[in-house]
Amino acid sequence: DAKTTQPNSMESNEEEPVHLPCNHSTISGTDYIHWYRQLPSQGPEYVIHGLTSNVNNRMASLAIAEDRKSSTLILHRATLRDAAVYYCILSFVPFNAGGTSYGKLTFGQGTILTVHP
Amino acid sequence: NAGVMQNPRHLVRRRGQEARLRCSPMKGHSHVYWYRQLPEEGLKFMVYLQKENIIDESGMPKERFSAEFPKEGPSILRIQQVVRGDSAAYFCASSSNVGTYEQYFGPGTRLTVT
């Protein structure tokens, strides 16, 4: 499996933008880049995913380098509720099962984001 | 639209007992995944199931653990003869069958073995 590298921790102030980096230098052409986050004592929460182009949704933006060896999750205005562990995950489709495809998620250690009021 | 539901949220078992963890996927989702998070560790994939089929159980311990997702009813993760090392948070996730890669996680079951 292709690996990802993230900083152990980052800090931000409330209402400021946050850029969370992820390196994935061994990414393959079929790997999607996913971001999930896990708030304290909760299950992980899907944030965003992409393949090649930058992506935006209501939660965040995902900026993908042209060579796809790195990506950045952007929270435009951090809130206290954004304090969580953020996981950058590469997902691939190893085979088709019953006519559909799936992606097994391999979580690393993630980045602990602390947001200061 | 209700999210992924897991019960119980907390489960205490003595060594040697059985633990049964239940997961009801989101409505319309036919793919279920189980993950385990040991204390101070990351989430580890255990098993992936579709209705009545185990697709990938590469992350399941070879003994004492089993999973099912029957045609009717929730997915069950069963741990027989629990040991202290089984104490962990067990998360279930589901996804739809239209090729999306988004997985929706439940709140988890925290198993404590005494």
- A interface toward B at CB cutoff 8 Å? 32, 34, 38, 42-46, 49, 91, 97-98, 100-110
Give the per-residue pLDDT at A9. 97
Distance CA A109, CA B43 (A): 9
Q: Residues B31-71: pLDDT tens digits?
A: 899 999 998 888 999 999 988 899 889 899 999 999 999 98
Distance CA A84, CA A56 (A): 20
Among A32, A108, A109, beta carbon nearest to B101:
A32
Half-sphere exposure (CA, 13 Å, Cβ side) for A40?
5
Q: Residues A29-38: pLDDT tens digits?
A: 878 899 999 9
Looking at residues A5-15, what average pLDDT do you find?
96
First to last CA, chain A: 38
Provide the 3-class DSSP secondary structure of residue A80.
helix
Q: Residues A20-70: pLDDT tens digits?
A: 999 999 998 878 899 999 999 899 999 998 989 999 999 999 999 999 999
Give residue A99's pLDDT band: very low, low, confident or very high (50, 70, 90): very low
Give the per-residue pLDDT at A32. 86
The strand pairing partners of B34, in sequence order, are B47, B92
Half-sphere exposure (CA, 13 Å, Cβ side) for B24?
11
CA-nearest of A83, A106, A82 to A34 is A106
> Tokens in use for A91?
């997902």
The strand pairing partners of A74, in sequence order, are A19, A61
Half-sphere exposure (CA, 13 Å, Cβ side) for B22?
8
Q: Residues B13-29: pLDDT tens digits?
A: 999 999 999 999 999 88
Q: Which residues of B touch A38 (CB under 8 A)?
A: 43
Count the neighbouring beta carbons within 10 Å of the beta carbon of residue A67. Answer: 8
Only one residue has tokens 């896990």, namely: A38
Contacts of A99 (CB under 8 A, 6+ apart): none
Half-sphere exposure (CA, 13 Å, Cβ side) for B19?
30
Query: What percent of chain B clears pLDDT 70, i.e. is strictly above it?
Result: 95
Distance CA A90, CA A85 (A): 16
Give the per-residue pLDDT at A102. 62
Among A42, A104, A109, beta carbon nearest to B107:
A42
Pairs from B97-100 (Cβ < 8 Å, separation ≥ 24) = B97/A100, B97/B29, B97/B30, B97/B31, B98/A100, B99/A100, B99/A101
For chain A, give the mean pLDDT: 89
Count the neighbouring beta carbons within 10 Å of the beta carbon of residue A34. Answer: 23
Q: For chain A, percent helix, then strand, then coil, each to nearest 5?
A: 5, 45, 50
Give residue A106's pLDDT band: very low, low, confident or very high (50, 70, 90): confident
> Tokens in use for A54?
């930058």
Interface test with A, best of B103, B104, B109, B110 (most A CBs within 10 A): B103
Report yes or no: B62 and A6 within 8 Å, Cβ to Cβ.
no
